[in-house]
Structure 1
Amino acid sequence: MAINKAMRAALKTIAYLNLNVDIKKSYKVERHFENLGARLRPLPTEYSVWDHVVSSGDYEIPVRVFLPKKGKPRRLLLFFHGGGWVLGSIESYTEMCSRLAGASSSIVVSVDYRLAPEYRFPTAPEDCYAVARELFLGNGLLHVDPSNITIIGDSAGGNLAAAVSLMARDRGEFLPPRQILLYPATAADHSENSPFESIRTNGYDYLLTSKRVEDMLELYKGSGADSVNPYFAPLEAADLSRQPRTLIITAEYCPLRDEGEFYGKRLETAGNQVELYRMKDAFHGYMMLPPHFVHVKKTYELINNFLDN
């Protein structure tokens, strides 16, 4: 389904507003309304939904578990939400995670990692790693065969999934067998100097702007040295060997499109198994749309084929 004139105008309007809203000043207000809207929506009745915490040092990381009531789940998806490391929560992603659980016949575990700028890098990837470690080493959250666990994330969550896979390889405690990265952020530079053309062609008129990505990265960054840290920007990794079997889905009109695809090509060059798919006529964040949208349906199909194979 192509983007029609009405949708294109709406996307351009939202992008214009994003260009003129300073996320560095507005993030608390945006969080408030995002979570308020999520809490006003009832929890899905076709799923068992329960909250848990994973201890990491002196902090307890909230997680939300989604279990389809019908059928027997065949696997577990460990989900890291998007929101530019500044927005997003298990509340605002409850609908998407519940639909994902049903569409993939999976248990979904959604991680409420700490957000920037209150908690800058590397807090978010360390929180995500702590939950992954709990699951893969079987330390009490859910006793699931590690071979049936896949890590998945969208946008900033895709960045965190890639970071966790690199951290797992480097620390040697476990290694996820599969990762799914949905329109992930993998680079540190989203300015006009970026080597990726989609930053310029898609960075102004399609919902997410390049400027907003840059501003969120500034809020997320702990120091100047983070820009070359592969756990901050996975494309900075000199070595991408021994990574999970990977599915990367990008969106045609997303500013992050080219860096996501380049990350997939680099993974493949390093000897990993990679499936790469560009969603035609799609824009950043499309998985938050209702499940009847063609792009959402196609994504579930791609995810299931990837998991089944």
Structure 2
Amino acid sequence: MNNITKFILKLFSSPKIDMQENYLQVRRLQEFIQQPPKDSYRILDRQIYAEDMSHEIPVRIFQPKEKRSDEILLFFHGGGWVLGSIDTYTRDCIRMADKTGRAVLAVDYSKAPEHPFPAGFDDCFRVAEVLINRPELTGLHNAENLVLIGNSAGANLAAAVSLRLRDEGKQLPHKQILINPVTYWNHDERSPFQSVEENGYDYGLTNKKLREYMEMYAPDEKVRQSPYVSPIVADDLANQPATLIITSQFDPLRDEGEAYGQLLWQAGNEVRIFQAKNTIHNYLFGPISTDSDEKTYRLIEDYLENRLKGSDAYGEEKGYQP
């Protein structure tokens, strides 16, 4: 990582930035910077009603230029459960669809702090359930090979949705891909994970921001210790989908993501864990495409195509297959 990059990251890591006070301004800035492209011939907007019919959940379907599989990627975006939308992630979802050759369905779930847990989680679970049972409501007609995929808070939601589907005896997704997932509820000095202290100050996403996001998402500390907020504390991690976990070397969430993968593997699940070297938390969804992005999408494509073997091309492999 060069000195200019380190300097910019340090600026964005300033403790003067308070997400609880400034999240609305950050949302507006994101919407201004990451406006969706005008061409929409491969984009289809739909709405799914919440289970209690209280509101509609917007979803956006992205078709790849070249379809190579009937698998559907159900995508939950990151942003600390507070930031982000299907508009700000439209460019990323188009790229994901084209790189993987699969349809991507992105969920615009309810955001904290206006809608704290379980609102956003319930929205994601509802869309997954509908896609499994009645895919025609989304305009898609084959959800047998459903893959959950998410980054950061979105990866947390994907892992939690898989757990709840298992707990309620429902059909599980075919696979899940968790990119820099939040898996634990605490990111202060009580955290058992070294990367929170090691990478929690100078790399954009700080442990202070993580605490602020978590406090907005789940204000009650006892609620934060639920497996549907902190999947790593679940008593039983058996019977989960085949899982790919991708972590970043300079991410405060690195260790808890890898630890979650290890626990999934110990519970008898098929797991692969890769650490992307010399990367920060949100590297795959940043404004500039890098060589690390290309390697990560090759990793994801090889995983989806069941041809993932060696790890040299992608980074250090940290996980195992039982």
Q: What TM-score, normalized to structure 2?
A: 0.91
Deviations 1:87-123 (A, max 9, x none): 1111110111110000000100000000001100011
Deviations 1:223-252 (A, max 9, x none): 232122000110110100000000000000
What SS does the aligned partner of 1:264 have? helix
Q: Which residue of 2 aligns with 1:289?
A: 286
In structure 2, C-alpha distance between the alignment counterparts of 1:289 and 1:215, rounded to whole Å? 21
Q: How many residues get paired?
A: 303
Q: Which residue of 2 aligns with 1:201?
A: 198
In structure 1, C-alpha distance between the alignment counterparts of 2:81 and 2:152, rounded to whole Å? 9
Contact 1:44/1:95 (8 A) holds in 2: no
Structure 1 position 272 matched with structure 2 position 269: yes
Q: Which residue of 2 aligns with 1:301?
A: 298
Residues 264, 72 of structure 1: alpha-carbon distance in 2 compared, 3 angstrom cutoff: closer
Deviations 1:185-225 (A, max 9, x none): 00001001111000001000001000000011000004232
1:1-309 equivalent positions in 2, closer than 5 A: 3-16=1-14, 19-39=15-35, 41-44=36-39, 48-56=42-50, 57=52, 58-71=54-67, 73-139=69-135, 140-289=137-286, 292-309=289-306
Range that drifts further, 30-39 or 242-251: 30-39
What SS does the aligned partner of 1:204 have? coil
In structure 2, C-alpha distance between the alignment counterparts of 1:72 and 1:252, rounded to whole Å? 31
Identity rate, percent? 42
- Give the C-alpha shift of residue 294 in structure 1: 1.2
Structure 2 residue identity aligned to 1:54: I
Structure 1 residue identity aligned to 2:281: H
* 5+ long unaligned stretches in structure 1: none
In structure 2, C-alpha distance between the alignment counterparts of 1:21 and 1:7, rounded to whole Å? 19
Structure 1 residue identity aligned to 2:107: V
- Give the C-alpha shift of residue 27 in structure 1: 0.8
Range that drifts further, 168-177 or 78-87: 168-177
In structure 1, C-alpha distance between the alignment counterparts of 2:250 and 2:112, rounded to whole Å? 26
In structure 2, C-alpha distance between the alignment counterparts of 1:264 and 1:126, rounded to whole Å? 24
**Larger % of helix: which?**
1
Deviations 1:16-70 (A, max 9, x none): 2xx211111111111112113223x52456x611211011122110011101244
RMSD: 1.5
Q: Which has the higher contact order (CA 8 A, sep 6+)?
A: 1
In structure 2, C-alpha distance between the alignment counterparts of 1:204 and 1:292, rounded to whole Å? 24
Residues 174, 222 of structure 1: alpha-carbon distance in 2 compared, 3 angstrom cutoff: farther
Q: What TM-score, normalized to structure 1?
A: 0.94
